[in-house]
């Protein structure tokens, strides 16, 4: 990672902003240029701070800072986008928080990644534009599965390759046919299997081509969640709130 005592300018999404000491904040941001970083934002708890708006959670900002591998020092923060539609819809806000909590807790610091930046900004833009929070939530789970090195075979039976499939196997990480299905696998009907496949194949930039009914999404999403729980150990506090909306 590039570090310097000179000021660097970067673009970032504020993931978390916490009070620190009397008038400062510790601000965790995912930046396009440097990956996930934490900044010491001095004086931003004061009402007169010109940087206060730019360090609010769920804000895209232009940041000027002295960048180091540890705690960087914020010089200036200018808010560029507040995502007002997300903040006015509790289901969308919880979905955004689910993604941001994952990045804060499980994505390594100081490792920029274009794919993660594109997924983060694409997901927030989709929620802001009014796409279904259920679809975005499902895609977040698919992303986490992949980021943690798990395969998702949805092109045919994971054991024999047969395209006529009947369910999903957590053990084999993908679809299975009737012949290879066991009691540990999840039996699914054709429409749910189609929905699951489309979610796995769809990039966040292709949401306009993805059309799935809420009923199918609510049956498919627990498959992704169980896969994550059983094989990654990832535990996110926001999952509890997300489940409330999935069960409505």
**108-163 confidence digits (pLDDT tens):** 999 999 999 999 999 999 999 999 999 999 999 999 999 999 989 999 999 999 99
Inform me whether the pLDDT recorded for 247 exceeds 80: no
The domains located in the chain, with CATH, are 7-82 (2.40.50.140), 86-246 (1.20.1440.120)
pLDDT of residue 7: 85
Inform me whether the pLDDT recorded for 58 exceeds 60: yes
With bands split at pLDDT 50, 70 and 90, how would you rate the model's confidence at 31? very high
Inform me whether the pLDDT recorded for 52 exceeds 90: yes
pLDDT of residue 5: 56
Inform me whether the pLDDT recorded for 21 exceeds 90: no
The Cα–Cα gap between 183 and 169 comes to 10
pTM for the whole thing?
A: 0.93
């Amino acid at each position: 990672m590039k570090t310097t005592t000179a000021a660097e300018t970067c673009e970032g999404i504020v993931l978390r902003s916490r009070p620190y000491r009397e008038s400062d904040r510790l601000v965790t941001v995912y930046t396009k240029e440097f990956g996930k970083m934490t900044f010491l934002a001095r004086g931003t708890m004061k009402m007169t701070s010109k940087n206060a708006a730019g360090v609010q959670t769920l804000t895209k900002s232009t940041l000027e800072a002295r960048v180091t591998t540890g705690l960087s020092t914020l010089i200036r923060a200018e808010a560029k986008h507040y995502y007002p539609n997300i903040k006015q819809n509790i289901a969308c806000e919880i979905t955004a928080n689910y993604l941001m909590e994952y990045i804060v807790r499980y994505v390594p610091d100081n490792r920029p990644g274009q794919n993660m930046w594109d997924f983060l900004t694409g997901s927030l833009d989709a929620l802001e534009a009014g796409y279904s929070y259920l679809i975005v939530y499902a895609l977040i789970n698919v992303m986490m599965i992949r980021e943690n090195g798990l395969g998702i075979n949805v092109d045919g039976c994971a054991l024999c390759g047969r395209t006529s499939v009947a369910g999903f196997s957590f053990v084999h990480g993908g679809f299975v046919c009737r012949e290879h299905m066991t009691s540990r696998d999840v039996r699914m009907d054709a429409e749910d299997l189609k929905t699951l496949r489309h979610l796995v194949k769809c990039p966040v930039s292709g949401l306009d081509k993805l059309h799935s009914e809420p009923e199918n999404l609510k049956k498919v999403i627990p498959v992704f969640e169980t896969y994550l729980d059983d094989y990654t150990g990832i535990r996110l506090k926001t999952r509890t709130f997300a489940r409330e909306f999935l069960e409505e």
